[in-house]
Structure 1
Amino acid sequence: MDDITQISQLKYRYLRALDTKQWEEFEECFVAGATGDYNGLVFDDRTALVGYMRKHMVEGMITLHQAHHPEIDVDGDTATGRWYLQDKVIVEAFKFMLEGAAFYEDRYVRTPEGWRIEHTGYRRTYEATYDLNDLPGLKIHGPGLHVHA
C-alpha cells in the first residue's frame, strides 16, 4: 500500500474511532507527543487530547465527522495533509444540534507501527447551531438511539 493510501486510512480510522468512541483505537492514531488545535481548543500532547475527547464525547452524544478531498504531501518519513471536514453533533439531553465545516491541517510521521498523527487541527469555515425544540418533526433512529424533538 502506498503512503498516501496509508495516511488516508489513518485519517478515516481517527474519524471512525472518534465517532464510535473507541478511545484506545483513537489514541493509537497519534504519536505520544502529538498536538492538536481545533479552532482554538489546543492540546499539548496525546494524553490531553484523548482525555478531553473521552470526557466530553459521552454516550448519548451523536457525532458525525466526515473528511474528504485530501491533499497529502509525503516527504520521506513525514507528511502533511489538508482535509475538508463536515461534522454534526446532536445532544438530545440539551436539545442541541451543531453542524459545520472546516479544513483540517495535519502533520504525520512514519513510525515502526506505520503512519501516525503528529499534529491535527482545523479552522472552521462555518458552524450552525440548532435548538431541537425548534425542529418539532425531527426524529433520529439508530442502534440505541431515539431522538425526538
Structure 2
Amino acid sequence: MDLVALEEIRRLKYRYLRCVDRKLWDEFSQTFTADATAAYGTPVEGEPVVLRGREEITAFMRRRLGPDVVTAHLCAQPEIDIDGDEATGTWAFQDTVIIARYDIVIIGHAFYEDRYRREDGVWRISHTGYERRTYEAQLSLKDLPSFKLTS
C-alpha cells in the first residue's frame, strides 16, 4: 500500500471537514475535482441531495451552512483502498449542527462513501456523500434551559 498516498487522502478529508466547520469556502472548493459529485442524505430533505461539480457543491454548502449555523464534524475509522491515481474510502462520521435562530440542535451519524482522484500529483475528492444517516436526532434549545452558545 502507498502509505504516502494514504496519508494525503486522510489529510484531504480532514481539510474538507475543517473547511466546512470554519466556512472556508474557497479552500473547501479546492478539495474537489472540477467534475466532482456529492450526495447527502438526510431525513429533513427526504431524498438525498445530489450535486454535480465543484461550484454547485460549494454553493450548496455556503447557502445551507451560513454564518448563523454552527457545525462540528468528526470523521474516523477510514477504510481507504488505493489503485494508482484513484482511491475509495469509507469514513464513519458524526456531526452536530446548531441553528440558534430556530432553537434547534441536530446530531447525526453516517458513513461517507468517497472516491478520490490524483490530478497533477494532488489528491482531490471526486465523489463524497452518504445515502442515509444511521441516525439523526433533533433537540429543541427550549428543552435545554441551561444551554448557552458562546461562539
- Indicate the TM-score class for this superposition, using the shorter chain for normalisation: over 0.9
Between the aligned partners of 1:61 and 1:74, the Cα distance in structure 2 is 35
**Aligned residues with identical type, % of pairs:** 46
Between the aligned partners of 1:17 and 1:116, the Cα distance in structure 2 is 14
Between the aligned partners of 2:121 and 2:136, the Cα distance in structure 1 is 36
Between the aligned partners of 1:46 and 1:2, the Cα distance in structure 2 is 25
Q: Which residue of 2 aligns with 1:130?
A: 139
CA RMSD of aligned residues (A): 1.0
Provide Cα deviations, 1:53-84, integer angstroms capped at 9, x if missing partner. 11121112110011100000000000000000
Q: Which residue of 2 aligns with 1:81?
A: 89
Higher relative contact order, chain-length normalized (CA < 8 Å, sep 6+) = 2
Between the aligned partners of 1:78 and 1:47, the Cα distance in structure 2 is 22
Q: Which residue of 1 aligns with 2:115?
A: 107
Q: What pairs up with 1:1-149 in 2 under 5 angstroms? A: 2-39=4-41, 40-122=48-130, 123-141=132-150, 145=151
SS, match of residue 140 in structure 1: coil
2:145 is matched by which residue type in structure 1? P
1:54 is matched by which residue type in structure 2? R
Q: TM-score, normalised by structure 2?
A: 0.91
State the number of aligned residues. Answer: 142
Q: TM-score, normalised by structure 1?
A: 0.92
Q: Displaced runs of 4+ in structure 1, greater than 4 A?
A: none
Provide Cα deviations, 1:102-124, integer angstroms capped at 9, x if missing partner. 00000000011510000000131
- Structure 2: gaps spanning 5 or more residues: 42-47
- Structure 1: gaps spanning 5 or more residues: none
SS, match of residue 138 in structure 1: coil
SS, match of residue 145 in structure 2: coil
